[in-house]
Chains A and B, each alone.
Chain A
Amino acid sequence: MDVLQLQKQFVDYRASLYHEGFLDEQFTQLQELQDENNPDFVVEVVSLFFEDSERLLNELTKALEQQSIDFKRVDAHVHQLKGSSSSIGAQRVQKVCIAFRNYCEEQNIEGCLKCLQQVKHEYSLVKTKFETMFQLEQQILTAGGSIPV
């Protein structure tokens, strides 16, 4: 595939992520912060998001396995996850976190467990999407092209 085709493929893929609600305006802002002095900014921030999320999901799993669940602790973790997902524009993850927090407030164990499943699912989806998008970017760069804004 030549550079133009690769670029088109990338642009279409990225547009689909917005269209399907995986990404929102916040991600656009993130991209706008990147420049020649900080060419890896987006990748670095998204990597931080992966680390953050994986840690939080582990903590959440442990917390919800306890005999006596500490809902305040669960809520604190979800709050963090909501914060980081909203900051990078991972809209679907953020939305599940909002529902999750409501169940924490109600101390609804079933609701929380359901949300944990959902958020793990949404996280793994968006992670794959990001990885694919970064791969497409790499292909363009390797072919000697530049990433379309």
Chain B
Amino acid sequence: MVLGKGASSSLSMKMADGAEDMVNNNNFTVLVVDDDPLIRKLHDMHLKNFGLRAQVVENGKKAVDLCHVGANFNLILMDREMPVMNGAEATKELRAMGVNSLIVGVTSCGSPNEKQAFMEAGLDYCFEKPLTPDKITFLLQELNKNN
């Protein structure tokens, strides 16, 4: 399968505290969807520290296209506001396609109504930006539960 522009697939052996007990980390795949290159770089790095492989794309449509051609991810980190296709639309489309990855919204504030609408698009969780080690630990626990 051809990885698109911006895809990163290097594996880091450095595990953060608390992640040592999660032996299955190296098998989880993550997709980071965000239009800000700073955030993509930041989240990619956070995930690397937990031994997770991340692919990064810059809008919802690219995420949908990837899944459409058969890419499978355990976890999708979805920004809310993006050009071309935003997070809510992308989440709805992914769910409609039958994608049952853990989809987590990562957004910078937004009113409770906006957050609610985003959750209703099909998210499993919605966090405030940026990602932190605690949030990743929590998500890994969820992934380990479901697998």
B-contact 0/1 string along A36-78, CB 8 Å cutoff: 0110010011001100100000000000000000000000100
Q: Are the CB atoms of B12 and A37 closer together than 8 Å?
A: yes
Q: Are the CB atoms of A87 and B45 closer together than 8 Å?
A: no
Q: Are the CB atoms of B81 and A79 closer together than 8 Å?
A: yes
Chain B 32-69 residues near chain A, CB threshold 8 A: 36-39, 41-42, 45-46, 49
Q: How far is the CA of A29 from the CA of B81 in the complex (A)?
A: 24
Picked from A35, A44, A80, A83, the residue with its CB within 8 Å of the CB of B14 is A35
Chain A 71-102 residues near chain B, CB threshold 8 A: 76, 79-80, 82-84, 86-88
Picked from B12, B39, B81, B109, the residue with its CB within 8 Å of the CB of A84 is B39
Residue of A nearest to B107 (CB): A83
Q: Does A33 interact with chain B (Cβ within 8 Å)?
A: yes
Residue of B nearest to A29 (CB): B132
Chain A residues touching B, range: 20 to 34
A84 with B36, Cβ < 8 A, contacts A48-B41, A76-B81 known: yes
Q: How far is the CA of A44 from the CA of B81 in the complex (A)?
A: 24
B33 CB to closest chain A CB (Å) equals 14
Picked from B37, B41, B108, B132, the residue with its CB within 8 Å of the CB of A86 is B108
Chain A residues with CB under 8 Å of B37's CB are 48, 52
Q: Does B129 interact with chain A (Cβ within 8 Å)?
A: yes
Picked from B12, B36, B81, B132, the residue with its CB within 8 Å of the CB of A52 is B36
Q: Which residues of B contact A (CB under 8 A)?
A: 12, 14, 36-39, 41-42, 45-46, 49, 81, 108-109, 129-130, 132-133
- In the complex, besides A79-B81, A83-B129, 13 extra interface pairs with C-beta distance below 8 angstroms are A26-B130, A33-B46, A33-B49, A35-B14, A37-B14, A44-B41, A48-B37, A83-B36, A84-B36, A86-B108, A86-B129, A87-B39, A87-B129
Q: Which residues of A contact B (CB under 8 A)?
A: 26, 29-30, 33, 35, 37-38, 41, 44-45, 48-49, 52, 76, 79-80, 82-84, 86-88
